[in-house]
Structure 1
Amino acid sequence: MMKFGKSSSNITTSNAPVSDLKGFLGDGTEIKGELSFSEMLRVDGSISGKIKSDSGTLLVGERGYIKASVEAANVSVSGTIEGTVTAKNKVEIHPTGKVFGDVYTQALIIEHGAVFDGKCHMTGREIPAKTEPVEK
């Protein structure tokens, strides 16, 4: 069952206000296929396939399980993600979070106790050009 709208309970894993939450996939709910969203989505259920948001924030709760490629502006993980994660701004892996796959982002925050098994590719940064030593 998907619930949309505002909730009075504190169900986010980050410091974002609950009023910002626009979608919720509850525990015991499963989606297979492609999912797109805007703004903020919390997942406590299971998603397999592809998740895409150009400007949204994906919150994966402690009971959330995602086996998919993920594209979002921000990703906050307290559950499990298996697959490539691409975030325009940042990826946060909280103490109960597990990410198995490569991460492409400008900022990666891994808290003590979290699991990250993959490669991190820092995006949005220019690689300085090699400079030749100056001869005197």
Structure 2
Amino acid sequence: MFGKKTETPSSPTTVRTGGSLSHNSLVQGSKLEGNVTSENDFRIDGIFVGNLQCQARVIIGPSGEFRGEIDCQNAIVEGKFQGTMRTHEILEVREGAIIEGDVHTNKLVVQSGSIFDVKCSMGEEPVHRSSSTIIEESVLSEIENGQLEES
């Protein structure tokens, strides 16, 4: 009667069960355009156009479409991806997935029945070269192939 009232939380309490505390989800029928940064898993079942930087796992579900750039720890692709993807650990491309663009990953799993049309680099961080070095290498290659004469 005269005791302290206890307030009931307006939303349910989230309990940590060994995985990440929470995850984000873009549901089927939704479209997001822009840049997103996330510390937790991010699942895409709708359409995402832009850039996604995720410190956890990105999942592009069977109905999901992504166009842009992804930088994440791990990724599972079951839907469509077009752009540049960098996974620091494992990229898993499942049956029915369509991936086009540039990919850098440490480990790669590609299931049969997927389309993997990319320029792919694997392993440690790629060595960054200056544009002048790339141009010099291109010119030397053309000279070696007889496509360009030395001056």
Structure 1: runs of 5+ lacking an equivalent: 7-16, 127-136
Per-residue CA shift, 1:45-103, capped at 9, x if unaligned?
001011111x2100000000000111100110000010011000011100011110111
2:43 is aligned to: 42
Instruction: Compute the TM-score of the two structures, normalised by the length of structure 1.
Output: 0.74
**Helix, strand or coil for the counterpart of 2:73?**
strand
Q: Is the 8 A contact 1:21 1:41 kept in 2?
A: no
Hey, what's the Cα distance between the residues in 1 that align with 2:83 and 2:20? 29
**Helix, strand or coil for the counterpart of 1:27?**
coil
Equivalent residues in 2 for 1:1-136 (5 A)? 22-53=23-54, 55-124=55-124
Say how many residue pairs are matched. 111
Q: Is the 8 A contact 1:20 1:40 kept in 2?
A: no
Percent identity over the alignment? 24
Structure 2: runs of 5+ lacking an equivalent: 1-12, 127-151
Instruction: Compute the TM-score of the two structures, normalised by the length of structure 2.
Output: 0.67
Q: CA RMSD in A?
A: 2.2
- Name the amino acid aligned to 2:81: I
| Structure with the larger RCO, 1 or 2 (CA within 8 Å, 6+ apart) | 1
Q: CA deviation at 1:125?
A: 7.5
